[in-house]
Structure 1
Amino acid sequence: MTVRIGTVWDSTQQVLAGRAGMMVPFAAIGFVLPGALQLVLAPPVPGQPQVGVAAFAVMVVSVLLGIWAQLAIMALATHPATTSGEASRAGFRRMWPVLGVALAIGFVFALVALAMIVALGLSHYNFAAALAANGDPSKMPSMSGGLALFLLLYGLIVLVGSLWLVARLMLVYAVVLNEQRGLGAIRRSLVLTRGLTWRLIGVFLLFGVVTLVATLAVQSVTGAVFRLMLGADQAMTAVRLAALLGSVVSAGFMTLAYVFIARLYVATAGEQAHREEVGSPSL
């Protein structure tokens, strides 16, 4: 018994065919509403960072709504008898454990990134000049060849390692949701995804490219239409409206992704249970 990505995809399509209508409200609240709140309460200003109480509040609300929606959608996709109310309650109930696990993983990634900053500091890199350059390559301070080589190699290692972790930790949220685990969900996800790493990396990259292309296409086309309709003096409004429509497209792909993850969890957990049953001595 082996888990096949094609079989998981077929299962994903079946769930979407039967339960997409139940998932739409969660996707709208969790993935689209945060973007609308940002446009209304903390609209982005070109060339200026998002700071202030309103921007911070929108960020926190967006994160919490996103986690809740992810868990609710996965609950609907995992158990066919789950109602919308049950999925919503499951999302709220497991939101904080998921947030804790996410913060733990994020802390590890922060430490990995910190190594690059430490290397730059030890080489007396001019951080002030780098900030003043504001992203302009011609104004960036120079660095030694050895440091540049180290950063390049380290960055490649981090990139490859990140792809590996994305694949192996793909089921962490599903485990937290369904098995009532905390940090132990990390180890459980590593066990469930064993033997699927390269296939899941391929799925992740393909899905990311398709989502990015589709979202940018919608934003560019609708942005041009809105600029024609509203006029040149409302160019920023057109950009914001196009971004909001892009978030709708992105929400659709995110819903698809979380249904796929839920069905992958069902398949891998079932296979793991089968292996344990076959491997255990008969009573």
Structure 2
Amino acid sequence: MSTRNEPQQKQQLKALEMTPRRKQFFRMVSEGLKVGFEGEDLSRVENFVRYCKGELEYKALGPLHQPSEEYVEGLRAKPWWEPQEFEWISEMEERSSIVIDEFKAFWNDPLSGFAKDSVNMNIMGKGWSGVRLQRLGEWIPENCEKFPKTVKLLKELKIPLAVRGVMFARQVPGSGVSPHTDGRNFILTTHLGVDVPEDCWIRVGEEKRSWENGKALILDTSFEHETRNDSRRDRIVLIIDYWHPGICHLTKAEQEALAFVYDLRNKFESGEIPLEEPEEKGLFGAFKRAFQQ
């Protein structure tokens, strides 16, 4: 995630030095793809890895488009997408009362609470917090138990959830999220209005829009975006991250390989995989053994 204070590509390239940690990551990526996808044509995924290494130069596809080195070629890029472009959005809007009512019950519980747990709180700001249902592709049982109907609905909709997250996000009055980009051009994000007062907005690229209760906004967060709540009460939205529809044009093997790379990246970023872990242990060892059985 980066801010507008420094050109996106310049900032990303600073982080591309081949440190021991990065060498370990890309070694595990290479070995994992060979072991798990032997005989498959993974040229597009291999190019994705080359972008990640900084060997290929990614391209911005419009004003304020700021993709990162985690870049998939050939995907359509636009700040805003429309609900009719996704079959599951209309059903989610029709059944949004399930989400809204369940959130109200949660909000009335004195033991409920939001966490300021973003790794980029300097960008998100003091007024932002969230309740995560899913993070890095894993459902969070203790939070899902508080929203069983919402989780059931999300699973029934068969949303192609990406390995990033699903969460209720709160913005307190007089606060906002600073301009930034999430970088990854292969993930889209939907915001479902849950409890939205007037005088709240989100800008993606050059256009501002406002949330509505029970309605969805669909955005590409590889474009610069920011939010603001100038009302006198909290703003609540349900945020859902999922694969860009262009990913569906990849083969099943390519989709699984891309998910593997991104999941491995998340585990490195979270510290789940320690530095210079022996290859026969941990995630790679488990992955390798699974495909050798």
Q: TM-score range by the shorter chain?
A: under 0.3
Normalising by structure 1, we get a TM-score of 0.27
Q: Which has the higher strand share?
A: 2
Question: Of the two, which has the highest radius of gyration?
Answer: 1
Normalising by structure 2, we get a TM-score of 0.26
Q: Which has the higher helix share?
A: 1
